[in-house]
Amino acid sequence: FPNRVSSDSLTTPSLEASLNVPQISNYPDFSFVKCFKAICLSSLGATINLPSLIGRKMSSSVQLFRDQKYHELKGQCLQQGRLFEDPEFPASDESLYYDPAVKRKVEWKRPKDLCEDPYLLVDGMSSHDFHQGKLGNCWFVAACSCLALRKSLWQQVIPDYKEQEWDPKSLRKYAGIFRFRFWRFGEWTEVVVDDLLPTENGELIYCHSNVRNEFWSALLEKAYAKLAGSYQALDGGCAAEALVDFTGAVADSLNLAKGKYGEVFFEQMKLFEDLMKVHKRGGFISCSISVSTDSWILRMGLIVGHAYSVTAIRKLHLGDNLQKLFLIRLRNPWGKKEWHGAWSDSSKEWKKISDSERKNLGLTVENDGEFWMTFEDWCKNFTDVDICRTVNTSFFSFQKTWEKEMIYGAWAKHPEPLLNRSGGCFDNRETFLQNPQYLFDVKKAKDKVLVSLQQEDRRKYKKEGKGDNITIGFDILKVEDNRRYRLHKLTVQERVATSPYSNTRSVFLSASLQQGRYVLIPTTYIPGVPTKFILRLYTDVPSKLRELKADRPEMTCWSLLCGYPRRVIQIKVHLAEGLQKQDRSGGADPYVLIKCENQSWRSPVQHNTTSPEFNTQVIFYSKDKDSPVTIQVWNSRLLGDQFLGQAVLAASPGEPREQQRLRLRGRGAGEAAELPGHISVTLLSSHDLAEL
């Protein structure tokens, strides 16, 4: 399965060859076998840092952008006594913009030309370290503010930051080269940049620190611009995109105005609890106010069309603890311009909070761009929220652990309908099933399923005028419990979940699904739009996510010799009623057994009922055009199951396609005796194996 990624496909450096390894990986997917090896080696005396081991990926799996090797390039520069100049992202106009109309005169300077003692980081990283420059990338800077709150995450984005740091005592080891890592389209990608930065009048013109000799934000921005193709390609965007690139999290977008969160208190409180849980579990939140007719004007100090990062969410108790206060803290990437309403820095409301509580909240009465406001005011003033959820896939964890599957895919156009893979959304009923289809199983009686669909980053196509995101989404259909081939007709399949359709880079859905088999169909909104995507699925137990590629059973020499299917038959058993009582309480534990030729399928048992709802659906491929379908009802018992009756259907293509209510009968040839109860079924049959 070359298009499938799982934790077991990661290559692991030999632990046996090195017993003194504090960390052996750098990424969220790490298999139990590898962790078990580490524990065994630890028992032999190895020094293993298990918490840092779990939830991290092999450094050997990191991809190199433009195949540039940091250590090799740095070694060459040191050997030749020169500073690195990046040929893949040169200090020239082509790295600044793709549209000549925005041309500006800049001077590229190294940090050593801007100050006497440059550093990558000064006293670590903080969300107050940096400010947005003369570029419309507040979304990126807001994401950086969130990243700065999690040391374990920014250390992943800036690997070996101490090794990359300037050393004033050993300047000969400095080569003017830096490296950063981003989670790009399912892989961690390392990007190398030089330290030449665009300036005007001796000042950095883009993202910069509020400490003159700190340069991590400017260099990180340059690396991100290199991935996008130019600095101008970062003009305008969504904070969730950058947060996914920083962390590998799954992104979710929410429209506060459409959801009426500012009006309905119950929905507002549900959202507060959800966001507080996201924040506590290491997720990230950013927000903005959509551009309207009064765009770019201040609204109580808030800026329309501007991204803010959420840095804290708190629930407080006032006075006698009977009054609850719901607060949220935001940061403006500009480092100034704050909220002027209730609970702003110098508002009178803070007199209700004790000095100790204010200290715990970290309240600062300064125009530093960070401020508090009530959650109610936040819901009423902001319109759009981007949520990045960190989904825990670590085996060793006190939190809920999810099973993850990830698959690469693509929407591709083809004139032949059976080969076309770009059919558009569900509204395009004639072409919808031409999209890629992915099968997965829900093994538990009911399971929560998280799905993230992400299209490729299109910023690199901005120079060609094709840089806008495509509107994407997906549907989940309940299908036959034994389906193995692609869907071709929307018949009795149940459409159980639909994601929002959005032109953001990724869409997310959380759904609770009943036990059974499902087909997930990712789509573009309009048919015939080709692009690549990755699909991530999280479940409580393994779901065996896989793509459906074949339209019908494969024709082989063996099948020609032994017989190739001549009919496809689809049966759905809806329910039974009036079954004979089997126990003292007056109930039964029935299930159905569906058989055709040498194929059979058994449904789950329905407990303590004589009127069970089975909703079991199967599909058979029959070699004999006259073979019937037998549906038997059984009562599950400890010492041998009990036959309750059956119905036999000819299953010919000419049979009624409407739901049928059939009398249960005994076994045997001819007209068998009637037994208590009826069963309701729907049957479809066709000689065209690619019809259903």
10-24, 129-143, 178-192: segment of lowest average pLDDT: 10-24
Q: Looking at the predicted structure, is the pLDDT value of residue 644 above 70? A: yes
Would you say residue 244 lies in a domain? no
Q: Are residues 254 and 166 in the same domain?
A: no
Domain containing 300 — which CATH number? Answer: 3.90.70.10
For residues 537 and 519, the answer to whether their CB atoms sit within 8 Å is: no
Cα angle 64-69-75, degrees, rounded to a multiple of 5: 165
pLDDT at 2 over 70: no
Is 395 inside a domain boundary? no
Q: Which of 13-27, 252-266, 546-560, 592-606 has the lowest mean pLDDT?
A: 13-27
Please tell me the predicted confidence (pLDDT) of residue 669: 64
As for how many domains the chain has, the answer is: 5
Contact 184, 175 (CB under 8 A): no
Phi, psi of 60 (to 5 degrees): -70, -15
Average pLDDT, whole number, for the chain? 85
CB hemisphere CA count around 429 (13 angstroms): 4
Please give the DSSP secondary-structure letter assigned to residue 219: H
Whether the per-residue pLDDT at 135 is higher than 80: the answer is yes
Of 364, 389, 414, the residue at which a domain comes to its end is: 389
678 an active-site residue? no
Q: How far apart are CA 454 and CA 409, in angstroms?
A: 10
User: Within a domain: residue 348?
Assistant: yes
Q: How confident is the model at residue 29 (pLDDT cuts 50, 70, 90)?
A: very low
The answer to whether residue 116 sits within a structural domain is: yes
Say yes or no to pLDDT of 258 above 60.
Answer: yes
The tens digit of pLDDT for each residue in 493-541 reads: 789 999 999 998 999 999 999 999 999 999 999 999 999 999 999 998 8
Q: Are residues 314 and 432 in the same domain?
A: no
Q: Is residue 555 part of a domain?
A: no
- Which range, of 183-192, 218-227, 416-425, 553-562, averages the lowest pLDDT? 553-562
Report the pLDDT value the prediction gives residue 172, as an integer from 0 to 100.
82
**What single string gives the DSSP state of each residue in 300-346?**
TTEETT-EEEEEEEEEEEETTTTEEEEEEEEE-TTS-----STTSTT
Q: List the catalytic residue out of 26, 77, 128, 138.
A: 138
The rounded percent of the chain whose pLDDT value lies above 90 is 52
CA 112 to the chain's CA centroid: 41
Judged on CB neighbours under 10 Å (0-12, 13-18, 19+), 566 is middle
Whole-number Å distance between alpha carbons of 389 and 211: 31
Q: Is residue 79 part of a domain?
A: yes
221 and 126 in a single domain? The answer is yes
Q: 298-330: per-residue pLDDT in tens?
A: 668 888 888 898 999 998 877 666 678 899 999
Catalytic residue at 332? yes
Instruction: Give Cα 164 distance to the centre of its chain.
Output: 31
| Secondary element (H or E) of residue 445 | strand 437-455
User: For the whole model, what pTM was predicted?
Assistant: 0.82
Query: Of 306, 381, 435, 488, which is the active-site residue?
Result: 306
**Does the pLDDT at position 108 exceed 60?**
yes
429 and 482 both lie in a single domain: yes
Q: Are residues 102 and 137 in the same domain?
A: yes
- With contact defined as beta carbons under 8 Å apart, do 575 and 661 qualify? no
| Mean pLDDT computed over 93-101 | 90
- The continuous run of DSSP H or E covering 537 comes out as strand 531-539
Per residue in 460-490, pLDDT tens?
888 888 888 999 999 999 999 999 999 998 8
- Among the candidates 491, 522, 548, a domain finishes at 548
Check whether residue 299 and residue 196 sit in a common domain: no
**Domain match, 492 and 544 both:** yes
pLDDT, average across residues 660-679:
88
* Active-site residue, selected from the candidate residues 26, 137, 332, 435: 332
Q: Residue 192 corresponds to which tokens in the numbers above?
A: 């190398």
Q: What is the pLDDT of residue 8?
A: 33
Task: Note the pLDDT of residue 193.
Answer: 98
CATH code of 505's domain: 2.60.120.380
In the listed set 351, 367, 389, which residue is the last one of a domain according to the structure?
Answer: 389
Is the confidence at residue 295, as pLDDT, over 50?
no
* Residue range 563-612, pLDDT digits in tens: 888 899 999 999 999 998 877 777 789 999 999 998 999 999 999 999 99
Domain check: are 515 and 656 in the same one?
Answer: no
229-250 pLDDT, tens per residue?
999 999 988 888 999 999 999 9
- With bands split at pLDDT 50, 70 and 90, how would you rate the model's confidence at 652? confident
CA distance 630 to 602: 12
CB burial string 126-157: b at 16+ within 10 A, e below: ebbbbbbbebebbbbbbbbbbbbbbeebbebb
Distance CA 504, CA 104 (A): 30
Compute the CA torsion angle 493, 497, 498, 500 (nearest 10 deg).
Answer: 180
In a domain, 554, yes or no: no
- Same domain membership, residue 197 and residue 169: yes
Find where tokens 């630890």 sit.
42
455, pLDDT greater than 70:
yes
Please indicate, yes or no, whether residues 512 and 631 belong to a single structural domain of this protein: no
Listing DSSP states for 598-656 in one string gives TEEEEPPPPPS-SS-EEEEEEEEEESSTT--EEEEEEE--TTS-EEEEEEEE---TTS-
Q: Which amino acid is it at 307?
A: A
Q: How confident is the model at residue 46 (pLDDT cuts 50, 70, 90)?
A: very low
Contacts of 258 (CB under 8 A, 6+ apart): none
Same domain, yes or no: 523 and 593? no
Paired residues of 531 in beta bridges: 411
In a domain, 495, yes or no: yes
Domain extent, residue 80, equals: 63-237
In this structure, what token pair is assigned to residue 272?
A: 């507060």
Kindly tell me the sign of the dihedral angle through the C-alpha atoms of 229, 231, 236, 242. Answer: positive
| Predicted local distance difference test score (pLDDT) of residue 292 | 65
**Lowest mean pLDDT: which of 7-21, 212-226, 368-382?**
7-21
Amino acid identity of residue 16, one-letter, is E
Assess whether 604 and 643 both reside in one domain. Answer: yes
Distance CA 585, CA 611 (A): 14
| Euclidean distance between CA atoms 160 and 275, whole angstroms | 32
